[in-house]
Amino acid sequence: MLSRAVRPALRAGAAVSSRAAAPAATFATLREIEGRLKSIRNIEKITKTMKIVASTKLTRAQRAMNDSQNYGKTSNEIYKSAETTATEAEGKKKLVIVCSSDKGLCGGVHSGLSRFIRKRIASGDDNFDLVIIGEKAKAQLSRTSAKNIRLSFLGTGKDIPTFAEAQAIADQVVQIAGEYSEVEILYNKFVNATSYEPTIIEAFSEEALANSRASPVLSWNVS
């Protein structure tokens, strides 16, 4: 056993040892914090660069959208002026074309369209088939409405949409459109950069265009 004289010396030595270790632990912690701050600053630089790139892309996309809106409004005015209405066909389904995309990380753009379709089915209006443009909406609707999906198109619109892409989709839709009473297009109407409104527009058949009541000066060529 240790003598009473030795015990105080050991306790004093242990206290000195613990006090000597304390600055080392503090120094290590400060270095860790400094490293984390440096990492955060680097992330801040990256996110600022990403924000600039995203802002540039958004401005370009909004400019293209405004140009296309002018074209779309003019096209819709022609149908309104011609008093074009859908032809009635009892016992046939409707065809709904859902315009989505293949990319995510864009808020409720895809889920809004899918929710619109699910609500429509839940309300009892389920006598329709789907043509889905875009992988995201297809993945969401496949879980609840797989039996309604007639066609799907993936990989479109990776870059700026082209007429050739639209024509390739339209060619396949036209082949089956005669099986349906109406064809509707569901898309996200732009409200602002963070808000979109699921909107339905009607795609008229060749017969409906030919039978427009107020289009004597127009010659429809849909061949």
Residues annotated as catalytic (active site), given as ranges: 106
Contact by Cβ (8 Å): 212, 82: yes
Interatomic CA distance for residues 20 and 12, integer angstroms: 12
Backbone phi, psi, residue 190, to 5°: -70, 125
Report the distance separating Cα 1 and Cα 131, nearest Å. 89
In angstroms, rounded to a whole number, what is the distance separating the alpha carbons of residues 200 and 186?
A: 5
Q: Return the structure tokens found at 79.
A: 């149908």
- Describe the chain by its helix, strand, coil percentages, rounded to 5: 55, 15, 30
- Supply angle C-alpha 57, 62, 64, rounded to 5: 95
Distance CA(217)–CA(82), nearest Å, equals: 10
